[in-house]
Structure 1
Amino acid sequence: MAVSRLAELVTALESDLLDFMRRHRVSHDEYRAATDLIIDSIKKGEESLLFDVFFEAQATDTSNIGRQGSPEAIEGPFYFEGAPLLSSPAVMPQRPDEPGDILFFKGHVSDAQGNAVAEMEIDLWHADAEGLYSQIHPGIPHFNLRGRFHTNDQGDFEVKTILPPPYEIPKSGPTGYVLGQLGRHYFRPAHLHMKLRHPKHHEMTSQLYFSGGEYLETDVANAVREGLIGELVHVTDTAEIARRGLCKPFYIYRYDFEMPA
């Protein structure tokens, strides 16, 4: 961020906050309670969660104004760099007995002119069947359900993983306290996180949802947007199950990305 932009934003924020305090007659006790909440969120490692729940979606909406191609989405607080690079056919790192329904996430990546983008890196992460994330919740192997893979020469990709459920965000800390005081629930709809990277394109952050899923209209992070929802197909055909080398029904979710110019 340029120094001039930083000065502009901080000056405006200071002015707006002071005006807010005057209009609402914020007392010193209330001011101290607010600062204590922020300090507590830092001590408990929730500073990103606290701000992401209330503000990140608006920042993303602003970035999407005038944007061509697929919309960006919030990153959320649970991303970690360095996920394993997967070989083809891509299978997300997981425990041998990983619970959950099998999901094949597939799609196509093109540029603004409709040309396929080969060798696009897709960095995918999501919750397990209990709504928990590796590196965040205890007892889960490092980088479980976190992996990177690439599109092929035709710009296509497919990865085998498990279907994540809706889940509650952590609610025992400062973020949960605020939401509880506001009378709001703690749930996020089921979703997949990803970052797309390529030397010739700006990095894109996305988060995809499943049509018909719970909490799409009441996401605690207010992050669901129409262009991020796709159809989840339940495959029960025995021939297709056998062709995939499976012994039970599975799901397919497809989303095609268009990179902005």
Structure 2
Amino acid sequence: MSSTIDETASAASSGTSATERFHTDKSPYDAVKDVPAERVDALAREVLDAVYATVRKHKVTYDEFNALKAWMIGVGEDGEWPLFLDVWLEHVVEDVNTEHREGNKGSIEGPYYVPGAPEQGAHGTIPMRDGEGGTPLAWSGRITSTDGSALGGAKVELWHADADGFYSQFAPGIPEWNLRGSFTTGEDGTFEIHTIQPAPYQIPTDGSCGKLIKAAGWHAWRPAHLHVKVSAPGHELLTAQLYFPGDEHNDDDIASAVKPELVLDPTTHDDGTASVRYDFVLDPAKG
């Protein structure tokens, strides 16, 4: 399976899918249409001032400036702006937007979320192929509000890469909803999800983001993780990634998204399966 995907998956195809999905799912300009011009001016000027300071400090040459222009054009042509921004910037935006929360810590969404995953109930198995690779994982949990009350009817949207590091709808040869599912809690706020433990993976390196990684001498690895969106009426949406202990890239994640509170503590059983308990506490919505 992995060799077939490896031969045909590319940064350009993945980037194009991520860009198209962003345009389909987001309406960014509507959300900021009432932002005062003074705020736009301040943000733009401070970003530009930081760039000016870098140019002056390091005495950037015209050759370097032209290489930057060519690289930025390439990021757009490869459709990799969602990848670039999600990997290198989103973790800071997420931090400042959730610093007020008393409930669970969140993390970045990343570029591979797709809404509308099939509903599986309060206790179910995520859609997967026959013989799906990876360690079978049973995850149980409970969703409550910050006052301790159970949140029945809360939703857990789960998506993650397969054992080869690929996401459905962003790599060829994978069923549309593979390893993507929605689970709705019972009246007591509990859920149980059966899935597989994903693998660590490298972000695409054959496009413009890969050129930056190579030129800077960085690595491209993300630790294995489960993506979730947890929601309930009257509460703030929680977006998070859950990680696994012992992963060598928990400490140097290319996306800087790992937090200690998000690392799971699974138990491995004699039959080769694993189980884990992880609960969520959601903050009431403001106002």
TM-score between the two structures when normalised by the length of structure 1: 0.90
Q: Distance in 2 between matches of 1:107 and 1:120?
A: 12
Q: Distance in 1 between matches of 2:70 and 2:260?
A: 37
Count of aligned residue pairs for this structure pair: 250
Q: Distance in 2 between matches of 1:89 and 1:107?
A: 10
1:254 to 268, 273, 277: 277
Shift in Å at residue 217 of structure 1?
Answer: 0.8
Q: Distance in 2 between matches of 1:6 and 1:104?
A: 46
1:86–1:148 contact (8 Å) kept in structure 2 = yes
Counterpart mapping for 1:80-229 below 5 A: 80-229=114-263
Q: Distance in 2 between matches of 1:152 and 1:91?
A: 16
Structure 2 CA distance for partners of 1:196 and 1:88, relative to 1, 3 Å:
closer
- The residue type equivalent to 2:91 in the other structure is A
Q: Which residue of 1 aligns with 2:22?
A: none
Shift in Å at residue 188 of structure 1?
Answer: 0.9
1:57 to 86, 91, 106: 91
1:50–1:174 contact (8 Å) kept in structure 2 = no
| Structure 1 residue ranges without an equivalent (≥5) | 237-247
1:166–1:214 contact (8 Å) kept in structure 2 = no
2:122–2:190 contact (8 Å) kept in structure 1 = no
Q: Distance in 2 between matches of 1:192 and 1:145?
A: 10
- The residue type equivalent to 2:150 in the other structure is A
- The residue type equivalent to 2:41 in the other structure is A
- The structure whose residues are more often strand, as a share, is 1
- The residue type equivalent to 1:24 in the other structure is H
Structure 2 counterpart SS, 1:199 = coil
Q: Distance in 2 between matches of 1:179 and 1:49?
A: 13
Q: Which residue of 2 aligns with 1:243?
A: none
Moved more, 48-57 or 146-155: 48-57
Q: Distance in 2 between matches of 1:197 and 1:35?
A: 41
1:3 pairs with 2:26: no
1:32 pairs with 2:73: no
| Structure 2 residue ranges without an equivalent (≥5) | 1-31
2:225–2:244 contact (8 Å) kept in structure 1 = yes
* Cα deviation 1:123-180 (Å, max 9, x = unaligned): 1100101111101111111121011111111111111111111111111111111111
- The residue type equivalent to 1:184 in the other structure is W
- The residue type equivalent to 1:57 in the other structure is H
Q: Percent identity?
A: 38
1:195–1:206 contact (8 Å) kept in structure 2 = yes
Shift in Å at residue 18 of structure 1?
Answer: 2.4
- The residue type equivalent to 1:204 in the other structure is L
Shift in Å at residue 61 of structure 1?
Answer: 2.0
Q: CA RMSD in A?
A: 1.6
Q: Distance in 1 between matches of 2:100 and 2:122?
A: 36
Structure 2 counterpart SS, 1:181 = helix
1:18 pairs with 2:52: yes
Shift in Å at residue 234 of structure 1?
Answer: 0.7
Q: Which residue of 2 aligns with 1:77?
A: 111
Shift in Å at residue 88 of structure 1?
Answer: 4.6
TM-score between the two structures when normalised by the length of structure 2: 0.82
- The residue type equivalent to 1:155 in the other structure is G
